[in-house]
Structure 1
Amino acid sequence: MKLITLNLQNFRNYTEEKFVFDPSVNLICGENGQGKTNLLEAVAALSTMRLFRTAQKREGLRFDADFAKILAEVEAQHRDFSLDLRFSRVKPMEIYKNGVRQKRQSDVQGLFKTVLFCPEDLSLVRQGAAARRRFLDTALCQLRPNYARCLEEYHRLHEHKIRILRDSEQNPSLLSLWEDFSLRMAKFGAHIIRYRAYYCKKLLAASAELHRAIAPQEELSGEYQTVKTVTDPFATASVIEQQLIEHVLSHKTAEIKARSCLSGPHKDDLVMLLNGRSASAYGSQGQVRTCTLSLKLAERELFNGEDGEYPVLLLDDVLSELDRRRQDFVLNHISGGQVLITCCEDGISEKLHAGAVFPIENGKII
Structure 2
Amino acid sequence: MIVKGIELDFFRNYLHMDAKFSPELNVICGENAQGKTNLLEAVAYLSTASSHRARYDKELIQFGVDSAFIKGELLSRDRDFTLEARLSRNARKQLFSNGVRLKTAGELAGVLNTVLFCPEDLYLIREGAVERRRFLDSCICQLRPRYAAALAEYRKLYDQKTRILRDWEEKPSLLETLDDFNLRMAQTGAVLIHYRAHFIRKLREYAPPIHREFSGGREILALRYETVKTVVDPEASPKEIFPQLLDHQESHRQAELDARQCLSGPHKDDLTVELDGMSAKQFASQGQTRTAALSLKLGSREIFFHDTGEWPVLLLDDVLSELDARRQAFVLGHINGGQVFITCCEDEKLEGLGREKVFRIHAGRLV
The two structures have a TM-score, normalised by structure 1, of: 0.97
Q: CA shift at 1:345, angstroms? A: 4.6
**Any conservation in 2 of the 1:8–1:17 contact (CA below 8 Å)?**
yes
**Any conservation in 2 of the 1:27–1:349 contact (CA below 8 Å)?**
no
**Any conservation in 1 of the 2:123–2:131 contact (CA below 8 Å)?**
no
Which residue matches 2:267?
266
**Any conservation in 1 of the 2:35–2:362 contact (CA below 8 Å)?**
yes
What is the percentage of aligned positions where both structures have the same residue?
53
Shift in alpha-carbon separation, 1:100–1:172, aligned structure 2, 3 A? same
Q: Judge which range, 206-215 or 157-166, deviates more.
A: 206-215
Q: CA shift at 1:253, angstroms? A: 0.7
Are 1:24 and 2:24 an aligned pair?
Answer: yes
Distance 1:7 1:343 in 2: 21
Q: CA shift at 1:307, angstroms? A: 1.1
Are 1:307 and 2:329 an aligned pair?
Answer: no
Q: CA shift at 1:169, angstroms? A: 2.0
Unaligned runs of 5+ in 1: none
SS at match of 1:124: helix
Shift in alpha-carbon separation, 1:350–1:220, aligned structure 2, 3 A? closer
Q: CA shift at 1:136, angstroms? A: 0.2
Are 1:111 and 2:111 an aligned pair?
Answer: yes
One-letter amino acid of the structure 2 residue matched with residue 179 of structure 1? D
Alignment RMSD, CA only?
1.2
Map residues 112-261 of structure 1 onto 2, 5 A cutoff. Answer: 112-215=112-215, 216-261=217-262
SS at match of 2:109: coil
One-letter amino acid of the structure 1 residue matched with residue 282 of structure 2? A
SS at match of 1:348: coil
Q: Deviations over 1:273-305 (max 9, x none)?
A: 112221212222222221111101001111011
One-letter amino acid of the structure 2 residue matched with residue 175 of structure 1? L
Distance 2:107 2:21 in 1: 26
Distance 1:135 1:337 in 2: 21
Distance 2:161 2:95 in 1: 29
Which residue matches 1:278?
279
Distance 1:228 1:118 in 2: 33
Which residue matches 1:335?
336
One-letter amino acid of the structure 1 residue matched with residue 167 of structure 2? D
Q: CA shift at 1:329, angstroms? A: 1.6
Distance 1:239 1:95 in 2: 35
Which residue matches 1:8?
8
Q: CA shift at 1:236, angstroms? A: 2.1
Are 1:358 and 2:352 an aligned pair?
Answer: no
**Any conservation in 1 of the 2:4–2:23 contact (CA below 8 Å)?**
yes
**Any conservation in 1 of the 2:7–2:19 contact (CA below 8 Å)?**
yes
One-letter amino acid of the structure 1 residue matched with residue 104 of structure 2? R
Shift in alpha-carbon separation, 1:342–1:52, aligned structure 2, 3 A? same
**Any conservation in 1 of the 2:25–2:339 contact (CA below 8 Å)?**
yes
One-letter amino acid of the structure 1 residue matched with residue 85 of structure 2? L
**Any conservation in 2 of the 1:233–1:240 contact (CA below 8 Å)?**
yes
Which residue matches 1:82?
82
Which residue matches 1:57?
57
Which residue matches 1:45?
45
Distance 1:343 1:351 in 2: 14
Q: Judge which range, 346-355 or 167-176, deviates more.
A: 346-355
Distance 2:137 2:126 in 1: 18
Are 1:94 and 2:94 an aligned pair?
Answer: yes
Distance 1:143 1:68 in 2: 27
Q: Deviations over 1:102-139 (max 9, x none)?
A: 12221123411110100010231111100000000000
Q: CA shift at 1:227, angstroms? A: 0.5
One-letter amino acid of the structure 2 residue matched with residue 361 of structure 1? H
Distance 2:291 2:245 in 1: 35
SS at match of 2:302: helix
One-letter amino acid of the structure 2 residue matched with residue 299 of structure 1? S
Distance 1:256 1:235 in 2: 30
SS at match of 2:68: strand
Distance 2:123 2:69 in 1: 32
**Any conservation in 2 of the 1:123–1:289 contact (CA below 8 Å)?**
no
Q: Deviations over 1:24-50 (max 9, x none)?
A: 110111111111111011000000111
**Any conservation in 2 of the 1:126–1:280 contact (CA below 8 Å)?**
yes
SS at match of 1:262: coil
Q: Judge which range, 264-273 or 109-118, deviates more.
A: 109-118
Q: CA shift at 1:347, angstroms? A: 4.9
**Any conservation in 1 of the 2:61–2:67 contact (CA below 8 Å)?**
yes
Unaligned runs of 5+ in 2: none
